Homo-oligomer: A and B are copies of this chain.
Amino acid sequence: MKKRAPHITLFSGGVGGAKLVDGFALLEPRANLTVIANTGDDVEQHGLWVSPDPDIVTYTLAGIVDESKGWGIAGDTFHALEALARLGEDTWMNLGDRDLATHIHRTRRRREGVRPTTIADEIARQLGVTTARILLPTDDFLRTVVETDSGTMPFEEYFLKARCEPEPRDIRYDGADKARAAPEALDALDAADMVVMAPSNPIASIGPILAVPGIREALKRCSAFRVAVSPIVGGRALKGPSDRMMRAKGYSVDPVGVASCYEGLIDALVIDEADRAYAAALEGKGLKTLVTQTVMKNRDDRARLAGEVGRAFLPDLEVGQGTG
């Protein structure tokens, strides 16, 4: 009997997460993929609703992402942004002309009263994404806020405008307590054979998703095998301020700290060969481990890692090989 394709639901932030999502999307035969993309970084810029993480995932899966940066659209120009600066707008967020179209369209649809989840799904389809469904954790307001010695600021402002320079003291998720989980996101957890926490910032990217009431509970009760891929390699974050944010939240900056971020929510942790020494400690905590090369330098790496994760933890289902 032919094995069936697995339902895999990923929690993802931006650049790092999108790479692993892309890896799963590259597998043949195809898994039934769903991405729940972080909206805690959403920000209003120039009066437009910018949604960085869902866009990065969308552009990556659509094959139009600027691969050299990991975000934005390949070959984009910045003429509108230059003109906005001339008009006195604060242009700290590097929005290209083609990218702006997404924000203009999203803002228009949102003002029409269309659900953000529907808009994200529509944008992905219109840009040609066929390998995964891109969902949001909630249609409601959610904002990751970073408290620093230089003041409190939304994550994107901390990340881009302040260039992560101030030391983070705490991270909170404004609006999370009142946000309602999107039913599609809950359904995608209920239907999943495997849930994957992509190697995104556990505090700033996955944390906001888990902070939406109902998501954590769905993750606890679902029958899926739940695995996280550590974004910490060799004691530091591959990209961004994960390490400093984990430290601010009292976690050790290593695979054990990552496992603690996801305590009670994962069955396994994928760690890099550089961190092989942590495998025993993780297994002592009751977690399965997969030790492999987790740094994704190219699309081959992405598909290889995705395939390894799938085959390691879903042995009874048909998990494809990378096509790269």
A positions within 8 Å CB-CB of B = 46-48, 73, 76-77, 79-84, 86-89, 96-102, 104-105, 107-108, 111, 122-123, 126-127
Contact = CB atoms under 8 A, between A and B. Distances in A.
Contacts of A73: 83
Contacts of A105: 46, 84, 87-89
Nearest to A87: B105
A83 B76 CA distance: 11
A318 to B, nearest CB: 34
B47 A126 contact: no
Given A46-B104, A97-B97, A104-B104, A126 B79 contact: no
Contacts of A84: 101, 104-105
A37 to B, nearest CB: 18
Contact of A87 (B89, B111, B127): B127
Contacts of A123: 87
A76 B80 CA distance: 9
Given A84-B105, A86-B127, A126-B87, A97 B77 contact: yes
A98 B80 contact: yes
Contact of A104 (B48, B99, B122, B126): B48
A63 to B, nearest CB: 13
Contact of A83 (B46, B98, B122): B98
A62 to B, nearest CB: 10
Contacts of A81: 101
A73 B97 CA distance: 15
B88 A104 contact: no
A79 B96 CA distance: 9
Given A82-B101, A87-B105, A104-B104, 16 more contacts: A76-B79, A77-B77, A79-B101, A80-B80, A80-B101, A81-B101, A83-B101, A86-B127, A87-B101, A88-B105, A88-B122, A89-B101, A89-B105, A97-B97, A100-B100, A100-B104
Nearest to A125: B88
Nearest to A76: B79
B80 A100 contact: yes
Given A80-B97, A80-B98, A80-B100, A86 B47 contact: no
